[in-house]
Amino acid sequence: MTTTNIRSPLILDQLINLYDPKIMGIVIAILVVLITIGLFIVWRYKKTARKGVLLMGLSDAGKTLIYSRLLHNKFVHTHTSVKENSGEYDCGKVSLRIIDIPGHERLRAKFFDEYKGTARGIVYIIDSITFQKDIRDVAEFLYTLLSDPVVASNRLSFLILCNKQDQTMAKGCTVIKSLLEKEMNVLRTTKSSQLESTGEAATNNTFLGKKEKDFEFVHLLPIKVDFAESSASNVDPEKPVELEALEKWLIHIA
């Protein structure tokens, strides 16, 4: 009896002795697990809270027609947008908020700043007929989006949608991808030398891709950039509307 009474406080002392390396180890392991679970819950919450998909691109690429097709399954006669269109797209269990951002140079930055924080992905729409003529502007705008700090920190998904494939003059998405990579490479060199001349190179995070390597979209990971083709117009009944690739991508990121 006496022996037990003397030993129990000693064992208890040992158990609550935080300086005991074993106990310290267990306490640290529990804390690490709890912090990880906490961070995971916050990350999941933030991710699911961001359910916007921005339709972006130069003016006349077909954003509003694609928006109208996707959400209302309608052909509309469009004109240059001056404000955004926004609506819910049902992806089965969840829905996404599709936002059609005006492509006009003076408006797009303002709307992008307004919506980028709530975005999960960006569909960058290209007019595949005028692509070669506008390649510089197409690449420049895309570069601006990809080098945005919010895009990088939220790891937004990108779909580059080569639209107007119903037209015979339209370039296919493989050609567009390869020409765009070449143009982004040139643009990157120009931007880097401009920054160096103003002494901002060290502080600015605008170098996209891998140093010492030609620009490739795959080098932007964890920002994932996919390419697909689409056609939003069915003025010619022989050529149907093709938005399946876009719809599959939306379900994939939802």
Ligand X SMILES: Nc1nc2c(ncn2[C@@H]2O[C@H](COP(=O)(O)OP(=O)(O)OP(=O)(O)O)[C@@H](O)[C@H]2O)c(=O)[nH]1
Our finding on whether 65 is near ligand X (CB under 6 A) is: yes
User: How many whole angstroms separate alpha carbon 103 and alpha carbon 77?
Assistant: 16
132 assigned ligand-binding residue = no
User: How many whole angstroms separate alpha carbon 25 and alpha carbon 35?
Assistant: 15
CA angle at 232 for the pair 229 and 234, rounded to the nearest 5°:
125
Region for residue 60 given its phi and psi (left: phi exceeds 0; alpha: psi -120 to 50; beta: otherwise) = left
- The three-state secondary structure class of 191 is helix
61 assigned ligand-binding residue = yes
Our finding on whether 59 is near ligand X (CB under 6 A) is: yes
Helix, strand, coil percent values for the chain (each to nearest 5): 50, 15, 35
Our finding on whether 81 is near ligand X (CB under 6 A) is: yes
Site string for ligand X, 87-126 (x = CB under 6 A): ---------------xxx----------------------
Max Cα–Cα distance, the chain, nearest Å: 99
With contacts defined by CB under 6 A, name the span among 26-34, 89-97, 111-119, 164-172 that binds ligand X. 164-172
Our finding on whether 167 is near ligand X (CB under 6 A) is: yes
Q: Which of 145, 184, 232, 246 binds ligand X (CB under 6 A)?
A: 232
Query: Which residue's entry shows tokens 């790891």?
Result: 155
Our finding on whether 80 is near ligand X (CB under 6 A) is: yes
Residues that constitute the known binding site: 57-64, 81, 103, 163-166
Q: Which residues bind ligand X (CB under 6 A)?
A: 57, 59-65, 78, 80-81, 102-104, 163-164, 166-167, 231-233
